[in-house]
Amino acid sequence: MTNKQKKITKTKVSIFVSITLSLSIIFVIMYFTIDAKTIQYLSQVSFRPEFFLFFGAAVLLNVLFWFIWGARIKVLSNVVDPNVHISLWEATKIVITNQFLAGITPSLAGGEPVRIYLLNKNGLSTGGATATVLGERLIDAIFILVLIPFGFFVFKNRIDIELISNGLTIGIILFLTGIIFFVLALKYPRKTKDILLWVSTRISRISKKKDRSVKVATRIGQEVDNFHNSITLFLTAGKKSFLSAAGLTILLWCTGFMIPSMILLGLGLSPFFVESYAAQALLLIIVMLPTTPGSSGVTELGMAGLYSVLLGVSHQYMLGVFVLLFRFITYHMNVFCGAVFQYRIFKSITSFSLETISKKER
């Protein structure tokens, strides 16, 4: 089997695992929560105009999320290279396309190479495209950092599920470690590279693939330099646009955080607007963990754990239905639309990789 065939097979396995795991966990949650009350309740609410109205609103909010994300990419890319003008629709297509690989890779990391490649295809240099994506990463990190205290304040006396609590603790530790490296890379790029290269060297001593260790070390140096140069640019010449992108980030996540409340309203339940925002903030920390492809299964369990607290014992019978509808809109819809757009661009949904970028750039 050639390397290309191995990569295609790996992608197919990731697709299968992510979708299967998501559906399996949803089925398990529904199995333990659905009862006669659920059927009776759904028969009363599912044919009401309000159900279709609020469910449609949730879908539209997800689509709006894509466009706001596209607007943010457009603003940041214009800072990197004012001579390159990417339309809002082109930027939004980049967002939609990136959803597929993001949805089948741990920590949603697979979407970043897609965005970099498509930004490069739309006129930005590879360095400029990387700078744009790194700018997004930094703004999101700052936003999440600000939200963490809010999330814990709302749920401080409510989270008693050990699995959720442990996941949040690990997520926060990893997240804060990442923030520390962000700051170090910005202020002390040389020292940061030395630290990361030292770690890479120690790992390479126990690794059988020495050539890969050299490539990793080289990549580390490039990434730190890219990050330092990108953020320096955004915080100096592009300060106003960076603040605009920050404003779009707030609007972006506020839009996404409204989706669960719309679903709850459609089901005739309390929307828990404030609590739902807090739950989504905490869920972001769990999703960041490099666990399963697309964080499938982990997200479903996190949603079930957090919203079981909000719904309480009296409405536990609707928990499985809620998780199903939420993941259908925010995950399965994204992966499907991303696959369609990726196929239209690359004529394949399984062959895209970092190697694809290198070959097409030549």
User: 322-358: per-residue pLDDT in tens?
Assistant: 999 999 999 999 999 999 999 998 887 776 654 554 4
pLDDT at 221: 66
- Most confident of the following: 16-25, 158-167, 177-186: 16-25
Cβ 331 vs Cβ 22: under 8 Å: yes
Q: Is 62 helix (H, G, I), strand (E, B) or coil?
A: helix
pLDDT at 362: 45
What per-residue confidence (pLDDT) applies to 349? Answer: 75
**Average pLDDT of span 74-79:** 92
Q: Which of 33-37, 126-130, 252-256 has the lowest mean pLDDT?
A: 126-130
Rounded distance between C-alpha atoms, residue 272 and residue 276, angstroms = 6
Q: Where are the alpha helices (DSSP H) in 161-209?
A: 162-187, 189-205
> How many whole angstroms separate alpha carbon 11 and alpha carbon 350?
6
State residue 190's pLDDT score.
73
Quick one: pLDDT band at residue 161, thresholds 50, 70, 90? Answer: low
Per-residue pLDDT of 13-49, as tens digits, reads 889 999 999 999 999 999 999 999 999 999 999 889 9
Residue range 170-178: mean pLDDT, rounded:
71
Q: Kindly report, residue by residue over 130-146, the tens digit of the pLDDT.
A: 889 988 988 998 898 88
Burial environment of residue 4 by CB neighbours within 10 A (0 to 12, 13 to 18, 19 or more): exposed
Closest CA to 137 of 88, 76, 94: 76
Q: What is the pTM (predicted TM-score) of this model?
A: 0.85
Q: How far apart are CA 73 and CA 90, in angstroms?
A: 10
Helices 319-327 and 259-266 sit at what angle, rounded to 10 degrees? 130
> Using CA atoms, how far apart are residues 25 and 30, in angstroms rounded to an integer?
9
* Averaged pLDDT of the chain: 84
- Is the model's pLDDT at 156 over the cut of 60? yes
> Exposed, middle or buried by CB within 10 Å (0-12, 13-18, 19+), for 74?
buried
